[in-house]
Amino acid sequence: MTTFRMRLGAAALAAGAVMTMALTAQAADVVRIGVPTKAYWPTILVTAGIEKGIFAKEGLEAEMTIYRGGGETFEAIAAGSADIGNVAAALVAIARTRGVETRLVGNGADEWSGWILGVKADSPIKDARELDGKKVGITSAGSGTDSLALWAQTDAKVTFNRVPVGGGGLVPNLLNGNLDAAVIYSPLSYQEVARGTVRPLIDFATAMPANLTGGWAVREKDIKERPDFVRRTLNAIYGSLQYMLENPEYSINLIATNNELPVEIARMEFEKTFGRLSRDGKITRESVDVALAMAKASGAKELAPADQVFQNLDIVPTKP
């Protein structure tokens, strides 16, 4: 964790006497950040921001918690145990119809770069239409992997069993035969395809239209009551991305270390994923509309309208 303290020095001269300088410290605001899984870009961004003192420059002490998927991350935000987290638009839209008032305030990306529906390389399954009645791995219910699994089965006109195994369980359960297929995110997808252990059935980046894949969500109460706190947090997050893009050697090494990847796979993740993330955090109505329409087509019900799902704030990426 990174802590920021502002030192205020006071020195005065009176009647020829020098008073002793008094130092006081202003405690940092703690921001609790939820991320959906360890080997995913939000985790890397927050880690970089902590390591490089970017949150500290905004007067923040960042505490990061890694959950088992977007569903758990959203639950933490809704319950007040996380101040901000990266989740799918559909989660926010569904929750609002049930009285849980959160909003997306920062864009992640408008394409599912590196996300695939994959099977073991030696699997006899050649097409998603062959997955009817099969077991397909996701991280957790309501997560991005769950949304993509729903879309895939709707697109293929089949019904399969979605099995939550957490981010760390996707590849092991696929390779040991507990799953017939799995929705795998980058950089795990890049790693396993390069190793020849996994074969893609669907590349979601090319199979799906551009849409808001997910973003940074907060409680609406915090937007109203602590707007400066929310803005400073977003400034630090997007400042971390800017730093990473300007320092590729550091970023690739961080990705490789955090995700236990070979450098060449980490470089692929940096170029294909981080290079395509939103740099200003702006969310468009069109991208949310498409994301919610796809959620509806996949079986989601009672979704709040797009204009209740997001709110753009003035983000000024923090310079380290």
* Burial (Cβ within 10 Å: 0-12, 13-18, ≥19) of residue 272: middle
- For 180-215, the pLDDT digits (tens) are 999 999 999 999 999 999 999 999 999 998 899 999
Q: What is the mean pLDDT of residues 10-29?
A: 43
State the Cα–Cα distance between residues 246 and 304, nearest whole angstrom. 38
Which pLDDT score, from 0 to 100, does residue 160 have? 95
Per-residue confidence band for 26, with pLDDT thresholds at 50, 70 and 90: low
Residue 73 pLDDT greater than 80, yes or no: yes
On whether both 219 and 302 belong to a single domain, the answer is yes
Residue 12 has pLDDT above 80, yes or no: no
Domain presence at residue 139:
yes
- Domain edge (last residue) among 175, 207, 239: 207
Assigned domain for 315 exists: no
Whether 138 and 281 map to the same domain: the answer is no
Q: Is the pLDDT of residue 90 over 90?
A: yes
What pLDDT score does 22 carry? 32
Shared domain check, 77 and 125: no
Residue 318 lies in a domain: no
72 and 31: one domain? Answer: yes
In which band, very low, low, confident or very high, does the pLDDT at 318 lie, cut at 50, 70 and 90?
very high
> Would residue 317 count as lying in a domain?
no
Residues 40 and 189 in one domain: no
* pLDDT category of residue 301 using cuts at 50, 70 and 90: confident
Residue 144: predicted pLDDT: 85
Co-location of 123 and 106 in the same domain: no
Residues 229, 292, single domain; the answer is yes
In a domain, 186, yes or no: yes
Average pLDDT over residues 93-101: 96
Let me know whether 149 and 65 are in one domain.
no
Mean pLDDT within 72-84: 97
**Whole domain around residue 169: which residue ranges?**
116-207
pLDDT at residue 21 above 60? no
> Is the same domain home to 98 and 240?
yes
Q: 103 in a domain, yes or no?
A: yes
pLDDT of residue 4 exceeding 80: no
Comparing CA positions, the residue from 107, 310, 317 lying closest to residue 232 is 317
- Measured between alpha carbons, how far is residue 119 from residues 116, 153, 173, 181, 213 in Å? 10, 15, 11, 5, 22
Write down the pLDDT at residue 299. Answer: 81
Lowest mean pLDDT among 17-21, 47-51, 221-225: 17-21
| Shared domain check, 248 and 132 | no
Judgement on whether residues 200 and 220 belong to the same structural domain of the protein: no
Residue at which a domain ends, from 182, 207, 232: 207
For residue 219, the cross-strand partners are 102
Q: Which CATH number belongs to the domain containing residue 276 in this structure? A: 3.40.190.10
Residue 319 lies in a domain: no
Domain end, chosen from 156, 174, 207, is at: 207
Asked if residue 313 belongs to a domain, the reply is: no
Specify whether 220 is located in the same domain as 106: yes
Distance CA 300, CA 278 (A): 26
Summary mean pLDDT of the chain: 90
> How far are the Cα atoms of 29, 124, 211, 268, 299 from residue 121, in angstroms, in the given order?
48, 9, 29, 21, 30
The number of distinct structural domains making up the chain is: 2
Gap between the Cα atoms of 49 and 38, Å rounded: 16
Residue 9 has pLDDT above 60, yes or no: no
